[in-house]
Amino acid sequence: MGLALLILLAAGGSAGYREANRLQASLAGDLQVAAAEMDAGKAALKEANSKHDLKALNNARQHFKNAKLRFDLARKSVDGNVALVAADWVPGVGQLYVAPRHHAVDAIATMGLALVDAGEQAIEIDANLMAPSGAPSQESGPQRVLTVLRDASNRIGRIEADLKTAREADQSIDVTVLPAGQQATFSHARDSILKGLQGIAQFRSLVPALLELLGNNGPRTYLVEQADPADLRGGGGFIGSFSLVLADRGVMKIQTTADVATIEWPPYVMPGMKTPIKPPNPLQEFADHPWVFGDSNFDPNFPGTARDGELTFFNQTGKRVDGVISLDPWAIALLLTATGPLRLPEYSATVDGATFPEDVFQREQAHPNDPEFARTRKQFLAAVAKNLIERLTALPADQWTKVIDAMNTAVTQKHLQVYFNDATAQSGMANFGWAGQLIGASSQQEFLMEVESNFGATKANHFMQRRYDLKLVAEGATLKHNLTVTLKNSTPTGYVNGRYYRVYVRVYVPANATGLSAQNLFRDRLPTQEQQKGLALMDGWWQVNVDPRLGYGTSTFIFSWNTPLSGDAGHSIYWQKQSGTLSDAITVSYTAGGHTTTAQTDLTQDRLLALTPNQIEVRAGTGGGAQLPTLGF
């Protein structure tokens, strides 16, 4: 905050002038040191959180203590000076010049003290989270996190009050009395207050979800789906195995982990099935059995597909759950980077994040002619998931920030999705980008999403190369779109169910789009009943075969549509990535006013395409933004 304001007091009334000269050096020094100490405290707090470093946290504590002392000295040196206070009331120069500057020093000190107190409270929250494992309470990691959340919830009101006090003091200052060189620093202080208040709002949004996840509100059962993106579906992949996790006030236990074949098998009308459920029409094009849990991952909007999973799971098992967590091998790989490698003695194997996706694929999809392999092939992923969940629930609380970071990455890359039945907790997941919902179109931006479902039971998606070419042409108030999707299937021999890719393709665009056209696809035999709010849909079927002479096969689909073009402020398109896919290449061209510009990117995550007549700016889309309590500002 570097606010050496004493020089401003040096031109007041006669008494104020003499006192200002005398106090100038000490007051300027106090404010400068206070500001420097607070900045150092903020930096140390940030370092402590990024490195989980208790020493850095103690450094932050000392810096804030020093800042508090200096801000207090500055305020007392001004308010306690009788001559200077008297100068405030000198007619003319005193009231018009000295008093506003006197108030500015007072307000700056008040703002600084409030920010320091907020920082000290944030330190205590982080100290609880970083407390070394093996504490006398012997709480498990989740229990400790629950304790931290409760403590943070109690402290958050005081932090918010401090930040509001700082904001009120800030708003009372006449910025024009500050030296030009100090106004930018003062603006930075204002930004810090706003950032802190936003952090509190985010924290309050996340807490209900974390409390619900950890069973703070009573016993909860969560269905953990282990999706197979090699058998791609709209919601990420065929659900090959699952776990049930019980949570009760921070105590996490695995009730069961199993291959999905244990609850469904041909002809899929199992003993105990409550009521056969009719599947969506596209699923009826390749199968005539009831809708089952393994195939429930149809909807690309994860809240919808999670509810479908709950429905089919209950129909087959009679078990109700309180939420659904879907993860694939890439999500597990990211979590393994946080937990470290896992040893599985029953498989004489050690799994780690660097090699896990390929390892699990080869273990589950090769050797299709081996009967024992066919019987047990999905048990490996289930075993890894079981051991990983056990490792995660046993981690000390100070390691959970690493886990959350890994989960944020998995969410951003569309390998992890979370749904809670509790509406408040689910709202928190949506706010932090974990819910997997369709972003959809708005008045400010378009929407685009291409979704594929492998309904041929092969594992071709593991070998699939996908490329998108989007051509945009502005014609008056209309934006014309032409999307070419090119698929290259290089599936080798020797994998489950063959080499072909029988794909159901969907492309979602804004509901106000016109001229919708899909080329090179077979039409639905049974028209889809699917409706997504604010969106229109183009769909169809195809099969990409491998030419044995080449070792690969290719197919191209073309989609066209038109939308209203935004005005001079520019136009944007939100391109959402399908769950379970990797980093498919994108080329975009935009022609406007006779000028064409191009850009290249990929779908490692969602993308936002911002269009102007002269360029295409590619930005990162929404990603996972959850974090355990840390209220740096």
Q: Are residues 163 and 40 in the same domain?
A: yes
Please list the rounded mean pLDDT of every run of 10 residues in the chain (633 residues). 36 45 60 86 85 87 94 79 56 59 79 90 82 59 82 87 91 76 68 83 84 93 97 96 94 92 77 82 89 96 98 95 97 94 91 94 76 70 88 79 91 97 94 92 88 96 98 96 99 91 98 97 94 96 97 98 84 97 98 94 97 92 76 53
Which among 466, 470, 452 is positioned nearest to 559, based on CA atoms?
470
**Per-residue model confidence (pLDDT) at position 553:** 98
The CA distance from 451 to 503, in Å, is 10
Task: For residue 86, give both structure tokens.
Answer: 């008297």
Domain membership of residue 482 (yes or no) is yes
The CA distance from 157 to 169, in Å, is 18
**Per-residue model confidence (pLDDT) at position 170:** 87
Calculate the alpha carbon distances from 373 to 240, 348, 366, 450 in Å: 15, 16, 9, 34
The CA distance from 56 to 58, in Å, is 5
Q: Are residues 197 and 263 in the same domain?
A: no
Domain membership of residue 419 (yes or no) is yes
Q: Are residues 336 and 456 in the same domain?
A: no
Q: Which residues of 241-274 are buried (b: 16+ CB within 10 A; e: fewer)?
A: bbbbbbbeebbbebeebebbeebbeeebebeebe
The CA distance from 135 to 148, in Å, is 14
The CA distance from 547 to 556, in Å, is 15
328: exposed, middle or buried (C-beta count within 10 Å: 0-12, 13-18, 19+)?
buried
> How many distinct structural domains can be found in the chain?
3
DSSP single-letter state for residue 325: E
The last residue of one of the domains, among 404, 431, 458, is 431
Q: Are residues 200 and 235 in the same domain?
A: no
Q: Are residues 423 and 461 in the same domain?
A: no
The CA distance from 169 to 386, in Å, is 53
The last residue of one of the domains, among 213, 245, 280, is 213
Domain membership of residue 1 (yes or no) is no
**Per-residue model confidence (pLDDT) at position 7:** 34
Domain membership of residue 440 (yes or no) is no
Domain that holds residue 119: 6-213
Q: Are residues 27 and 145 in the same domain?
A: yes
Q: Are residues 178 and 231 in the same domain?
A: no
Task: For residue 43, give both structure tokens.
Answer: 């930096």
Q: Are residues 382 and 459 in the same domain?
A: no
**Per-residue model confidence (pLDDT) at position 53:** 82
| CA-CA-CA-CA torsion sign (262, 267, 273, 276) | positive
The last residue of one of the domains, among 213, 231, 259, is 213
Which among 64, 419, 8, 351 is positioned nearest to 182, based on CA atoms?
8
